[in-house]
């Protein structure tokens, strides 16, 4: 477990390779850990008997790095890395990030914007006839014409813009295995058009029969209704049971998406995780302080894939898929034993999870033969009657992990679906989760409190979270521990008006929650929520959706979630005034923010008690003291021949 793949020409030669079969190009630093897609793909290719070299974060300003190993015998395999390169570079406010957890020393700037496209063009410059196959999250979510938040425009498929020969979408083990085998057998890349989980471009005359056709690239650029329709069509075919071929014309060429790849069986998934990963950062980054992205995952274990939670802002449904598959208990235990043998292991397994930690089975038996229900969710807004919630297997596995020598604690840090947990009639997992697997704080994701917004997110209603919260603290108290829930919250999601944002602020106030971090909605490529953001339409109902888009609107909604911070005071004041919620301005109990300090003086005392409840009723705006003073001032100024006074600042 100490051998990395070749990263230099000399290392390639020392491995006895004259010309590599494949070269893997990645936007991430080289980390040989199964939490990194590059590690899984390269180790899998190696296990098939092919030689492969790793080209991590090449300098894209010239072709020199791309020619480091020479031209590969079979293909370049290109990925932007674990996340979209634009998300890696920019915040939701489109500000440049100073850090990058997947780069040496955590420093940004080691990969280009839209890395897949840039890398492919440099490869074409160096080797015009080279075979190029692209994959990973960036390529997967940009496989159709898509809205690009950073350009505020619709872009064509990345397969078109990059000039690559083939695109592999989703979790790529089946695709890469078949592609490598067929290329190794001498097939031409232009003839390989039938692999599930891949996309290719062709002449419209070669379009396969029976496909579902989305509105053309030109149509989705010009018509937002066409874009919304295309989004729904694409999602409805992302099922391995009934998903059809999907096509979308791009000018003189046709984009063809083959049906999704089949999920890996448990045996196949076990085999993937048994590959000889070093579980380490390549030592060439030691001088830079390593790669921060390894910290949270080095002693963590992924036991499942897929997520039937199907949140609208999440990319998992279009990438990993909604069907949950899992590793065997034996496979997970074996990985844990490898972790405990590492000299750096301190006794703590940081996580045993995945996209959703407590999913261990498909949501129901029907989906295995009929597929996932179109246009419906297993858990939201309420759980489906066919849902089977059972934590027995997961709990037994956690108990065995806790009993391993050298293991002090086993934590669960990836997301827990609290709505699924509550559906389990047996409380054993809930009790042991609170007692054994929480490190002082448990992160959960209610996201919002407005059910109108939660519906647009595809999340359960807030009443479900309230019940979970109540039971969590009851169990915590019963075992004599001091533990807390840390809720993930999102501002400015489509459907969230100032009214909803204020409701969330009040919910936080009433529940004594002071979030230190709040996530603005980030319109990343390919999601249903991004479709709503761009089109201002719900793709499933075609009804209009309010979308906060201006920097000021988004800043106010974000500030409301942290109304207690002094630096947010002016924004909170402006938001409350704009919404007409003067009853929340003041120093009385229940107010969110004090009046503007600029107006301190003889008249401020009355405003400090603005909108107090009198005799059990709140004053109306008409009877507000400031409004009365404004009328008096207006009359006085009119009498003196002066201009009318303006509304005083609160």
- Distance between CA atoms of residues 496 and 509, nearest Å: 18
DSSP 582: G
d(CA 605, CA 81): 58
For residue 117, give both structure tokens. 């496209």
Containing 425, the helix (H) or strand (E) segment is none
> Is the pLDDT assigned to residue 410 strictly greater than 50?
yes
What is the C-alpha separation between 294 and 563, in angstroms, rounded?
Answer: 34
Of 156, 159, 160, 169, the residue nearest 227 (C-alpha): 156
Answer whether 491's CB lies under 8 Å from 445's CB: no
Lookup result for tokens 């014409």: 145
Lowest mean pLDDT segment, chosen from 41-45, 116-120, 598-602: 598-602
- Strand 409-410 and strand 348-349: the pairing is parallel
pLDDT at 617 over 70: no
Mean pLDDT estimate for the chain: 91
**Whose CA is closest to 359, among 402, 411, 310, 401?**
310
Q: Where are the domains of the chain?
A: 9-198, 299-435, 440-579, 597-639
Statement: residue 325 has pLDDT above 70: yes
Residue with more model confidence, 636 or 646: 636
More confident residue, 633 or 143: 143
Cα–Cα nearest to 422, from 487, 469, 366? 469
Q: Strand, coil or helix: what is 531?
A: helix
Whether 518 contacts 491, CB under 8 Å: yes
Q: Is the pLDDT assigned to residue 1 strictly greater than 80?
A: no
> pLDDT tens across 355-375, in order?
999 999 999 999 999 999 998
* Residue whose C-alpha is closest to residue 596's, from 630, 621, 618, 571: 571
Please report the pLDDT score of residue 249 as a whole number: 98
- The CATH number assigned to the domain with range 299-435 reads 3.30.750.210
Q: What is the DSSP letter of 524?
A: -
Whether 624 shows a pLDDT value over 50: the answer reads: no
For the 9-198 domain, the top CATH level (class) is alpha beta
Cβ-Cβ contacts under 8 Å for 311 (sequence gap 6 or more): 457, 458, 459
> Of 499, 505, 492, which is closest to residue 553 (Cα–Cα)?
492
* Of 565, 552, 559, nearest in space to 504 by CA: 559
Identify whether the C-beta of residue 233 lies closer than 8 Å to the C-beta of residue 253.
no
| pLDDT for 553 beyond 80 | yes
Rounded to an integer, the average pLDDT of 340-353 is: 96
Long-range contacts, 95-99 (Cβ 8 Å, 24+): 99/292
Q: Which residues does 339 contact at the CB level (< 8 Å), separation at least 6?
A: 279, 299, 301, 345, 349
305 CB burial (10 A radius; 0-12, 13-18, 19+): buried
Whether the pLDDT of residue 634 is over 90: the answer is no
Cα–Cα distance measured from residue 413 to residue 602, given in angstroms and rounded to the nearest whole number? 53
Counting beta carbons within 10 angstroms of the beta carbon of residue 443, is it exposed (0 to 12), middle (13 to 18) or buried (19 or more)?
A: middle
Compute the chain's Rg from CA coordinates: 28
The C-alpha atoms of residue 632 and residue 499 are separated, in whole angstroms, by 31
pLDDT score for 517: 81
* CA separation for the pair 193, 263 (Å, rounded): 20
Reported as a single tens digit per residue, the pLDDT across 30-41 is 999 999 999 999
Residue 570: pLDDT over 70 = yes
Q: In this predicted model, what pLDDT tens digit does every residue of 494-540 receive, in sequence order?
A: 999 999 999 999 999 999 999 988 899 999 999 999 999 999 999 99
Q: Is the pTM of this model over 0.85?
A: yes
Q: Is the pLDDT of residue 599 over 70?
A: no
Q: Which two tokens stand for residue 176?
A: 């890469």
Please check the confidence at residue 316 and state whether its pLDDT lies above 80.
yes
User: Is 116's pLDDT higher than 50?
Assistant: yes
Cβ-contact 100, 88 below 8 angstroms = yes
Please give the sequence-ordered ranges of beta strands (E in DSSP) within 263-347, or none if there are none.
280-281, 300-302, 304-305, 325-326
Confidence of residue 597 (pLDDT cuts 50, 70, 90): low
Angle between helical axes of 329-340 and 266-273 (0-180°, round to 10): 10
How far, in Å, are 428, 438, 462, 472, 479 from residue 434 at the CA level? Answer: 10, 6, 21, 7, 9
- Tell me the per-residue pLDDT of 265-291, one tens digit each, with 9 for 90 and over: 999 999 999 999 999 999 999 999 999
pLDDT of residue 414: 87
Q: Which CATH class is domain 440-579?
A: alpha beta
Measured CA to CA in angstroms, residue 203 lies from 84, 153, 159, 254 at distances of 29, 26, 14, 6
Under a CB-based contact definition with an 8 Å cutoff, are residues 535 and 543 in contact? no
- Beta-strand runs (E) in 34-125: 52-56, 75-79
Percent of the chain scoring above 90 in pLDDT: 89
How far is it, in rounded angstroms, from Cα 392 to Cα 181? 39
Beta bridge mates, 593: 585
Q: Do domains 299-435 and 440-579 have the same CATH topology?
A: yes
Q: How high is the pLDDT of residue 615?
A: 31
Cα distances from 233 to residues 208, 316, 375, 495, 638, in angstroms, run: 17, 17, 10, 22, 63
Query: Tens of pLDDT along 68-99?
Result: 999 999 999 999 999 999 999 999 999 999 99
Phi and psi for 637 in degrees, rounded to 5? -70, -35
For the residues 189-206, what does the mean pLDDT come to? Answer: 97
Q: Is residue 390 over pLDDT 70?
A: yes
Using pLDDT thresholds of 50, 70 and 90, give the confidence band for residue 598: low
CA 125 to chain centre: 33
The two structure tokens encoding residue 344:
């750096």
């Amino acid at each position: 477990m100490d051998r990395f793949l070749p990263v230099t020409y000399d290392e390639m030669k020392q491995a006895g390779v004259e010309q590599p079969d494949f070269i893997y190009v990645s936007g991430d630093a080289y980390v040989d850990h199964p939490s990194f897609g590059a590690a899984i793909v390269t180790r899998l290719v190696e296990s098939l008997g092919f030689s492969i070299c790793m080209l991590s974060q090449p300098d894209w300003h010239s072709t020199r790095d791309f020619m480091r190993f020479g031209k590969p015998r079979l293909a370049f395999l290109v990925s932007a890395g674990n996340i979209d390169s634009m998300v890696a570079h920019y915040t939701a406010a489109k500000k440049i990030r100073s850090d990058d957890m997947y780069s040496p020393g955590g420093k940004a700037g080691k990969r280009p914007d839209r890395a897949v496209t840039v890398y492919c063009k440099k490869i074409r410059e160096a080797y015009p006839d080279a075979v190029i196959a692209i994959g990973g999250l960036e390529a997967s979510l940009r496989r159709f014409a898509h809205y690009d938040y950073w350009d505020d425009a619709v872009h064509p498929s990345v397969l078109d813009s990059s000039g690559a020969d083939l695109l592999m979408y989703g979790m790529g083990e089946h695709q890469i295995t078949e592609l490598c085998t067929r290329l190794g057998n001498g097939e031409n890349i232009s003839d390989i058009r039938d692999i599930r989980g891949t996309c290719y471009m062709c002449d419209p005359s070669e379009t396969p029969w029976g496909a579902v056709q989305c509105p053309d690239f030109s149509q989705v650029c010009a018509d937002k209704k066409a874009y919304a329709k295309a989004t729904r069509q694409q999602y409805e075919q992302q099922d391995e049971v009934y998903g059809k071929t999907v096509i979308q014309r791009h000018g003189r060429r046709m984009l063809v998406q083959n049906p999704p790849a089949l999920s890996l069986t448990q045996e196949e998934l076990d085999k993937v995780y048994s590959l000889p990963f070093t579980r380490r950062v390549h030592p060439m980054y030691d001088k830079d302080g390593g790669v921060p992205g390894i910290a949270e995952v080095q002693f963590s274990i992924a036991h499942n894939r897929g997520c039937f939670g199907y949140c609208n802002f999440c990319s998992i449904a279009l990438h990993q898929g909604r069907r949950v598959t899992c590793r065997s208990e034996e496979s997970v235990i074996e990985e844990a034993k490898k972790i405990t043998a590492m000299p750096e292991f301190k006794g703590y397994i940081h996580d045993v999870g995945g996209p959703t930690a407590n999913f261990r089975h498909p949501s129901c038996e029907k989906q295995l033969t009929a597929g996932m229900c179109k246009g419906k969710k297993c858990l939201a807004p309420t759980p489906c009657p066919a849902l089977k919630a059972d934590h027995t297997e997961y709990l037994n596995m956690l108990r065995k992990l806790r009993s391993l020598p050298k293991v002090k604690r086993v934590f669960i840090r990836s997301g827990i679906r609290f709505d699924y947990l509550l559906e389990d009639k047996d409380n054993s997992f809930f009790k042991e989760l609170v007692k054994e697997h929480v490190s002082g704080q448990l992160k959960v994701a209610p996201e919002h409190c407005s059910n109108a917004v939660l519906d647009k997110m595809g999340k359960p209603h807030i009443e479900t979270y309230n019940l979970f919260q109540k039971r969590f603290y009851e169990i915590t108290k019963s075992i004599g521990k001091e533990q807390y829930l840390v809720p993930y919250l999102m501002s400015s999601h489509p459907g969230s008006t100032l009214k909803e944002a204020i409701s969330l602020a009040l919910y936080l106030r009433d529940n004594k929650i002071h979030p230190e971090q709040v996530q603005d909605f980030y319109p990343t490529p390919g999601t249903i929520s991004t479709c709503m953001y761009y089109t201002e339409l719900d793709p499933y109902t075609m009804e209009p959706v309010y979308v906060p888009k201006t920097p000021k609107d988004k800043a106010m909604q974000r500030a409301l979630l942290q109304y207690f911070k002094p630096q947010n005071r002016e924004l909170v004041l402006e938001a409350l005034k704009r919404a007409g919620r003067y009853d929340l301005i003041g120093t009385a109990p229940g107010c969110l923010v004090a009046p503007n300090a600029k107006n301190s003086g003889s008249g401020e005392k009355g405003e400090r008690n603005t909108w107090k409840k009198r005799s059990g009723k709140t004053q109306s705006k008409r009877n507000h003291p400031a409004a009365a003073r404004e009328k008096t001032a207006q009359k006085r100024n009119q009498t003196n021949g002066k201009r009318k006074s303006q509304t005083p600042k609160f």
